[in-house]
Amino acid sequence: MCVRRFGPTLAALVAPVLLLSLAACTEDPIAPEPVTPSSPAESASPSTEASKDPLAVETPQEFLRRWVEALNRMTATGETSAFLELGHGCRSCARSADLMGGIYRRGGWVRTDGWTLVKVIKVDQTRGPAVRIEFLISSASSTFKKSRRAETQTLEGGRVRYELTLRSLAAGWRATGLSQVAQ
């Protein structure tokens, strides 16, 4: 497997905006899975929910869906705090957030429908507290300005394969790395 780390260039801005090159398979997007208790006895009250182990409540795949949603919100608004909270210690996530936040601080903007999670390809949980999730996204086309005075640019959408590394912490899962995977 060939893995490419994000660099500090504009291409690393965030994947839904600029890393749109590789074509892949044609599976339908993954629909979010509703979380429903199987019996009334399993229904969580606020006090019960607070005492549950966060890692038992959220699977790595559910975290990935939440992470993609936060990335899409960050891309649409320039607000980086929720995305950064999910990737505490993730340098590639922090670089993407810095670049995205910088666009909005300089008066720029991004117009896109963002990422759609197409398929979770593999979940590797054999590395102790670290989990690696390989997944395929479909990135919508994007129009953006790097600053108020910059020219408007357009990028085509595409499908890209990534690997997100997670670590289990007391507060739940956190992203620790993001890499593009060659197809």
How many other C-beta atoms lie within 10 A of the C-beta of residue 41? 6
43 lies in some domain:
no
Domain span at residue 141? 3-30+54-181
- Segment 104-159, tens digit of pLDDT: 999 999 999 999 999 999 999 877 789 999 999 999 999 999 999 999 999 999 99
Q: Which residue has the tokens 């720029």?
A: 108
pLDDT at residue 85 greater than cutoff 90: yes
83 lies in some domain:
yes
**What are 50-58's contacts with CB under 8 Å, separation 24+?**
54/170, 54/171, 54/172, 54/173, 55/168, 55/172, 55/173, 57/172, 58/172, 58/173
Query: Region 40-63: what's the mean pLDDT?
Result: 61
173 lies in some domain:
yes
122 lies in some domain:
yes
48 lies in some domain:
no
pLDDT at residue 6 greater than cutoff 80: no
Structural domains counted in the chain: 1
CATH number at residue 62: 3.10.450.50
49 lies in some domain:
no
* Maximum CA extent, the chain: 59
CA distance 98 to 183: 28
Query: Region 49-58: what's the mean pLDDT?
Result: 60
Instruction: Answer whether 0.85 is exceeded by the pTM.
Output: no
36 lies in some domain:
no
Q: Which of 64, 65, 82 is nearest to 73 (CA)?
A: 82
77 lies in some domain:
yes
89: confidence class by pLDDT, cuts 50, 70, 90:
confident
How many other C-beta atoms lie within 10 A of the C-beta of residue 180? 20
Residue-level pLDDT at 52? 54
